[in-house]
Amino acid sequence: MKYVIIIPDGAADEPQESLVGKTPLQAAKLPNMDAIATAGIVGYANNVPKHLPAGSAVANMSLLGYDPNEFFTGRAPLEAAAQGIELGPDDWAIRCNLVSIDNQIMKSFTAGHISSEEAKELLADLQKATPESELEFIPGVSYRNLLLYRGTPEKRAPFSMETRATPPHDLTDKSVGEDFPRGAGSDFLNDLMSRSLEVFQNHPVNNARIHANKLPATNIWLWGFGRTPQLPSFEKLHGLRGKMITAVDLLRGIASLIGWERVEVEGATGYTDTDYQAKGQACVDHLDSADIICVHIEAPDEASHEGDVTAKIKALEAIDRDIVGPVWKKLKSLGDYRILVTPDHPTPVRTKTHSHGFVPFTMAGTELIPDEHTTYDEPTAGQGLAKPQGNELMNHFILK
């Protein structure tokens, strides 16, 4: 028995005026997803409880069958796990974006999609300007980086899980004046952000970017802090050996924590220019050596963050053509199987940010009795199987 989960991140959306009242999923040409809906069932699930942050950390944990009310302890620790970083009982991980802010307006939560090499150079100089021995900046991919706080029983972190910080992707084109970290330890975090402003100003990396008509990284933005969660292994829960295909550290981290192997794909960027065909082929190639494979694609989410409905539709069509189609064809040739296609959370193009709410799913395969639906989109899913708690969907997907 083989299982595949395909996650078009942030694909769920609202009807668009520019699409004559259709959602991007309705407007896109998705023959393979529609064929899965015809051969199987459609429905909708809510992966993010109202009291938890609307984002990929909570949503993907829930989607993979882990109740976020029990297991979610912050986003950054998941990304730390992706890099093999172990956190002690008094340690914290903090997400550290490089951003572009101008006159208190968030111009870019990615610092114009700064390169990993540029980010590494900026953070190295910020580390030199940080005398606190308990603090360590960890370069990641592009704008996505980490700050570690190595605490001790004698010197615990000044912040807590009650400290609040707005994700920068929620602030695109908005004023940041009321959204700096707040609560316990916020002075400490805000001082670090101010320090980065001084280090980055007139930095050679930024001067070169400005000269090339690119946005500079004006400062760091700290958010998503927490401690490592204790997740039971997926194999222990379901008896299945898993693999994860993704270009995003958050999903790599979840995979590491639940005991899945990570498959790195050349050309996978975590952006709209990712190599969709290579990701689809990687899934096909690894099906023989895994019981369950998850293919995560960030592109629809990135297009939504940029408010680009055309790019979102293009990404969805590429996922359908280059990933869903070849993977489903391979699955059917192997015997018993199930395939699930579902976003983690909605990311409306209109708001350019993650939101709470239901997402549509479709699944087909062994011992699944088809329903009457023949298309995969939000309105159709709203008429199908309901899973108000998204973490319950996995038990419906996996054949017991």
The answer to whether residue 160 scores a pLDDT higher than 90 is: no
The domain ranges of the chain are: 2-70+230-397, 92-226
Q: Which residue has the higher pLDDT, 124 or 228?
A: 124
358: confidence class by pLDDT, cuts 50, 70, 90 = very high
User: Per CATH, the architecture of 2-70+230-397 is what?
Assistant: 3-Layer(aba) Sandwich (3.40)
22: confidence class by pLDDT, cuts 50, 70, 90 = very high
Mean pLDDT of 363-368: 97
- Give the total residue count for the chain: 400
pTM of the predicted model as reported, rounded to 2 decimal places = 0.85
CB atoms within 10 A of CB 213: 7
Q: What is the pLDDT of residue 329?
A: 98
Q: Mean pLDDT in the chain?
A: 95
Q: How big is the CA angle at 55 (ends 50 and 378), to the nearest 5 degrees?
A: 75
298: confidence class by pLDDT, cuts 50, 70, 90 = very high
Residues 237-255 pLDDT 10s? 999 999 999 999 899 999 9
Residues 31-58 pLDDT 10s? 999 999 999 999 999 999 999 989 899 9
CB atoms within 10 A of CB 384: 17
Cβ atoms of 40 and 363 closer than 8 Å:
yes
Q: What is the pLDDT of residue 152?
A: 92
- Cα→Cα distances 320→6, 256, 356, Å: 10, 27, 25
Structure token pair of residue 128: 């030199």
Q: How big is the CA angle at 361 (ends 358 and 363), to the nearest 5 degrees?
A: 155
Residues 173-196 pLDDT 10s? 999 999 999 999 999 999 999 999
Question: Measured between alpha carbons, how far is 301 from 320 in angstroms, rounded to an integer?
Answer: 15
Residues 88-117 pLDDT 10s? 999 999 999 999 999 999 999 999 999 999
Cβ atoms of 136 and 244 closer than 8 Å:
no
Structure token pair of residue 101: 């802010």
Q: Residue 324 has what DSSP assignment?
A: I
The answer to whether residue 202 scores a pLDDT higher than 90 is: yes
